[in-house]
Amino acid sequence: MGDVRRGGASGEARPESAEDLTEVSDFFRALGKQIKLLRERAGMTQKELAGHVGYTEALIGAVERGKRTPQPELLDAADKLLDAGGLLSIAKEDVQRAKAKARVRHPAWFRDYAGLEEEAIELHDFSMVDVPGLLQTEAHARAVFAMRQPLLTEEVIEMRVAARMARQEILTRWPRAIFSWVIDEGVLHRPLGGADVHAAQLRRLLEVGQTRGMVIQVLPLDRTEHAGMDGPFILITPKGRPQNAYIEVQTSSRLISDQEEVRILNARYGTLRAQAHTPQESLSLIEKMLGER
């Protein structure tokens, strides 16, 4: 058997702990406030700044709230554009150190996978319970963590939400990794967080699915064959390393490097993609669901 790592000290449990990362969170919030202050001083809206630096308005807003980590190129561009005199550019090294420390915002059982994900050059995800974490909106993620049993504290919920949003930075990097997701149609009918949160989540799926290099496929409910009945899984290839697989179920998680197990999951994923709607059919289905709301 290859390297199979299980979450928790016992090798099975996935305990939730409230790690103290106030210093990291405060740093990102303070840096975001500085960007906002400089932007407003320059008489510029979030949309205008986003257009100049090549980000989306929503991403600029998340950075200013301390919910997303500003990339070095954003700090350099904003520093020049907002006439910050080096105030933002000089923070790049501090941001990198904070990002490394912020990894512990993830629960202990998830950190090995999170480390691989950050280095990923290829990622394929089959989901049949919830929207994949990399595609979740902030409101959807917050709703999911808030309904966790046993209940999490508000502090832990916000920590988990921030960590999940930070993971999504890999979707904005260039050169872009290869991404694909196969999502069971049942997930799209589950309005977690309420109607408004769910509608925004469907729009987010459309946005990602229309992005070059990212493929979303929906596995329809009427299929008489389903290659993923053993449950969801992720195939991930870190740079310069063999492909791994990751599985979560209830209180257990597995990070698998045994190449025979990975090969089998690869074969299943290929079948799932063949059984699913095409990418365009999938986006059309999501658009139809939004139109019916």
Convert the pLDDT of each residue in 61-83 to its tens digit.
Answer: 988 988 777 888 899 999 999 99
Convert the pLDDT of each residue in 95-131 to its tens digit.
Answer: 877 766 655 456 666 878 888 998 999 999 999 999 9
CATH class of 22-101: mainly alpha
286 alpha-carbon distance from chain centroid: 20
pLDDT above 60: residue 237: yes
Q: Determine contact, residues 132/140, Cβ cutoff 8 Å.
A: no
**Segment (H or E) for 178:** strand 178-184
Q: Is 268 helix (H, G, I), strand (E, B) or coil?
A: helix
Cα gap 202→71, rounded to integer Å: 26
pLDDT above 50: residue 8: no
Residue 137's closest CA among 107, 168, 114, 115? 168
Mean pLDDT computed over 209-213: 94
CATH of 4-17+107-291, one of 3.30.870, 1.10.3470, 1.25.10, 1.10.8: 3.30.870
Q: What is the pLDDT of residue 34?
A: 94
Locate 220 and state its tokens: 């329809």
Q: What's the mean pLDDT when you consider all of the chain?
A: 87
How many Cα atoms are found within 13 Å in the side-chain-facing hemisphere of 292? 9
Q: Is 271 helix (H, G, I), strand (E, B) or coil?
A: helix
Q: Supply the DSSP symbol for 29.
A: H
Domain boundaries, the chain: 4-17+107-291, 22-101
Q: CA 96 → CA 106, 209, 228, distances in Å?
A: 17, 29, 38
Which burial class, exposed, middle or buried, applies to 189 when counting CB atoms under 10 A from its CB (0-12, 13-18, 19+)? exposed
Convert the pLDDT of each residue in 252-262 to its tens digit.
Answer: 889 999 999 99
Q: Which range among 12-21, 202-211, 248-257 has the greatest average pLDDT?
A: 202-211
Cα gap 53→76, rounded to integer Å: 10
Amino acid at site 272: L
Cα gap 46→58, rounded to integer Å: 8
Q: What is the pLDDT of residue 14?
A: 45
Amino acid at site 60: I
Weakest-pLDDT range from 92-96, 134-138, 175-179, 252-256: 92-96
Q: Determine contact, residues 216/206, Cβ cutoff 8 Å.
A: no
